[in-house]
Amino acid sequence: MKIVIVNGQNHVGSTCRIARDLARKVGGEVTEFFLPRDFDEPCVGCTGCFMKDRHKCPHFDKLEPITQAIDAADLIILASPVYVFHATAQMMALLDHYGYRWIIHRPEPQMFHKQAVCISTAAGGGMRSTNRDMSDSLFFWGIAKIYKLGYAIRAVNYDSITEKRRAKIERDTASLAARINRAYGHVKPGLRTKLWFYMVRFFHKQNRIGADWDYWEKMGWHAKKRPWQGG
């Protein structure tokens, strides 16, 4: 299995340790990125990606290694510590660059066959909103199966987490790794994703214009093809 880990911080802290532990238990070839080390640009709001093509993004070349790794991965792990109740600014800056591939625009068909995990850790709280920050993007990219792990670790680093809490994290990652492996190769998106797909398709019937319409037409989604069918 190909796994990509995107860390929303530059250091190997608790969040990264949990992400790596999960990836190790799943097993496979891991590619890892750290933000902002591997991508440090905020979206400039030019809308070139939305209106024309992703190649129009002024950060296209810088972003490409992460994009290629995400596109090639069977499992995407987004891992962010909670910063003021949300994912880190650098994680959000990365995700902003992929707005054009939301299902309401031009989703990549291979996303509909992938699994993803959002991981967040906090001192006390904010894991739900942080995981939501990341899972919103994953869902709207069309990712078929999304899991979330959030921990209030009540410690300044991974090694000082209590034995009991660490044992729970170990159990959770082991059982999630088994789940991911069981689903591997035959994941399909749920009803909510399909509803979004058909809503956009319906909208396109009324508004036959723009780069998004052209893309859907080229993909055959206005006709009988569906992104979750086939390999």
Instruction: List residues binding ligand FMN (CB under 6 A).
Output: 9, 13-16, 81-85, 121-126, 153
Give which of 39, 71, 36, 43 is closest to 57, Cα–Cα: 43
User: Closer to ligand FMN at the Cβ: 9 or 193?
Assistant: 9
Its sign, for the CA torsion 5, 42, 44, 131, is positive
Q: How far is the CB of 23 from ligand FMN (least distance, A)?
A: 15
User: Closer to ligand FMN at the Cβ: 9 or 131?
Assistant: 9
Q: How far is the CB of 80 from ligand FMN (least distance, A)?
A: 8
Structure tokens at 157: 């680093």
User: Closer to ligand FMN at the Cβ: 27 or 125?
Assistant: 125
Q: How far is the CB of 94 from ligand FMN (least distance, A)?
A: 16
Q: What residues form DSSP beta bridges with 152? A: 122
Strand spans (E) along 87-194: 115-122, 145-152
Residues with Cβ within 8 Å of residue 48, at least 6 apart in sequence: 56, 57, 58
User: Closer to ligand FMN at the Cβ: 7 or 137?
Assistant: 7
How many angstroms separate the CA atoms of 18 and 22, rounded? 6
User: Closer to ligand FMN at the Cβ: 81 or 142?
Assistant: 81
Q: How far is the CB of 14 from ligand FMN (least distance, A)?
A: 4
How many angstroms separate the CA atoms of 148 and 130, rounded? 10
Strand (E) or helix (H) holding 54: none
User: Closer to ligand FMN at the Cβ: 55 or 168?
Assistant: 168
Q: How far is the CB of 61 from ligand FMN (least distance, A)?
A: 29
Would you call 154 helix, strand, or coil by DSSP? coil
How many angstroms separate the CA atoms of 197 and 176, rounded? 28
How many angstroms separate the CA atoms of 200 and 171, rounded? 40
Structure tokens at 8: 């929303």
Q: How far is the CB of 132 from ligand FMN (least distance, A)?
A: 14
